[in-house]
Structure 1
Amino acid sequence: MGIDRSVFSWMLLFVGLSGLAPCSFVSDDVLKPHGSTGRSLLQAKKSCSMSFEFLNYTIITSKCKGPQYPASLCCSAFLEFACPYADYLNDATTDCASSMFSYINLNGRYPPGLFASECQGEKEGLACPPSSSPDAADAPHSAQSLIIALIASMCAILVAILF
């Protein structure tokens, strides 16, 4: 009976710790306008590997409406839309963020800098909710969490067998 309890304790500990993966953020740099300067030719950005052209922007356009553009609705809609793509958007070597904002503005006709001025986050950026459903953008992270959980479970079973 004591072994069963220790196995359960170890499994619970490892699975619990594997679920403590850091939540993702949409970096503050994503929200800042990046105007062109003379040096930008030397630091040309790579084309984004993610296509933002045909995504469903109604998540934002249905909630974030003018003329008031309520910050709570606009920011929550922005996070709901952008968080699944945080890894792409936070890559400063690509034009993913500017591409996404071009399509947001094309679909919603928002004032320049609306999301940068209204949506304030932590020092890392805007915190993405952990409950956002994983999709293709999050697949590497969810697979990594699954592998960690499986390894932790196997370790717990091994410890239970050996001790």
Structure 2
Amino acid sequence: MGSTGAAILFCWVALSVVAVGSAAPADNNGRFISRVCPVQFEGMPGVSTVINSCRAPQPSARRCCGALKTFACPYRDLLNDNDNNGCASEMFYEIIARGRLTPGLFSYLCHDDAVGLQC
């Protein structure tokens, strides 16, 4: 479905269980460098689709993970570069917090191979 780089996509699925607030690195002057994601996931309509597809009591892996892929695959390069921009953390925070979903839901349900989802 995509290049090898895209096939490695979503090794960040495990981030759905990790807290978003990791410490930002400091520059040489001791100032904190903020990692800014160029995508504003807050309020995006696709987030609601993922949330509605992944609600309890028994979310279907096919439906939930399909909605996650549909929403996230266009941002795969940014999401895979989470160390530099924090996009994966921001996206999962928005989905889980806004949807009041169970932390770890995506790492439990959504995995195409050992490293995550494929687009």
Same fold (TM over 0.5): yes
Which residue in the other structure is 2:90 paired with? 99
Which residue in the other structure is 1:125 paired with? 116
Unaligned runs of 5+ in 2: 27-32
- Map residues 116-155 of structure 1 onto 2, 5 A cutoff: 116-128=107-119
Of 82, 106, 118, the match for 1:115: 106
Which residue in the other structure is 1:51 paired with? 40
Q: After TM superposition, give the deviation of residue 94 of structure 1 in Å.
A: 1.4
> Helix, strand or coil: the match of 1:62?
helix
Q: After TM superposition, give the deviation of residue 77 of structure 1 in Å.
A: 1.0
Q: After TM superposition, give the deviation of residue 41 of structure 1 in Å.
A: 4.6
> Does the 8 Å contact 1:45/1:93 carry over to 2?
no
Which residue in the other structure is 1:4 paired with? none
Describe the superposition over 1:103-144 as per-residue Cα deviations: whole angstroms up to 9, x where unpaired.
Answer: 10133210011001111122443111xxxxxxxxxxxxxxxx
Distance (Å, rounded) in 1 between the aligned partners of 2:2 and 2:92: 28
Distance (Å, rounded) in 2 between the aligned partners of 1:30 and 1:21: 18
2:57 is matched by which residue type in structure 1? P
TM-score norm. by structure 2 comes to 0.73
- Percent identity over the alignment? 34
- Greater relative contact order structure (CA < 8 Å, 6+ sep): 2
Change (3 A) 1:126 1:64: same
> Helix, strand or coil: the match of 1:126?
coil
Change (3 A) 1:82 1:41: closer
Unaligned runs of 5+ in 1: 1-19, 129-163
Distance (Å, rounded) in 1 between the aligned partners of 2:53 and 2:13: 21
Distance (Å, rounded) in 1 between the aligned partners of 2:114 and 2:104: 19
Change (3 A) 1:63 1:29: closer
Aligned residues: 107
Which residue in the other structure is 1:31 paired with? 14
